[in-house]
Amino acid sequence: MLFSGNKILKSRIEEAVKIVDLMTDGELIGHIDTSGNDPVVPLMQALKKKPLR
């Protein structure tokens, strides 16, 4: 895997994937964390602004 050496980035990507799965199933509840400056933040911000339907 491309990010296998970066555990923090891998964790954030896995978190984003879980959020996408929940949004797709219509089960998203709670806060989406968009703080920080890692590469996943833009994805998290986009998900927060435009939920999948």
**19: closest CA among 6, 9, 28?**
28
Is residue 12 one of the residues assigned to a domain?
A: yes
Is residue 13 one of the residues assigned to a domain?
A: yes
pLDDT reported for residue 3: 55
Is residue 21 one of the residues assigned to a domain?
A: yes
**Per-residue pLDDT tens digits for 34-51:** 666 666 777 767 766 665
**15: closest CA among 39, 53, 52, 49?**
39
pLDDT reported for residue 15: 81
Is residue 32 one of the residues assigned to a domain?
A: no
Is residue 22 one of the residues assigned to a domain?
A: yes
Total Cβ atoms within 10 A of residue 34: 15
**Per-residue pLDDT tens digits for 4-37:** 567 877 887 788 788 777 777 776 666 666 666 6
- Please report, rounded to a whole number, the percentage of residues in the chain having pLDDT higher than 90: 0
pTM of the model: 0.46
Domain count for the chain: 1
**42: closest CA among 18, 14, 7, 13?**
13
Element (H, E) at 16: helix 7-25
Is residue 31 one of the residues assigned to a domain?
A: no
Total Cβ atoms within 10 A of residue 49: 9
2 lies in which domain range?
1-26+37-53
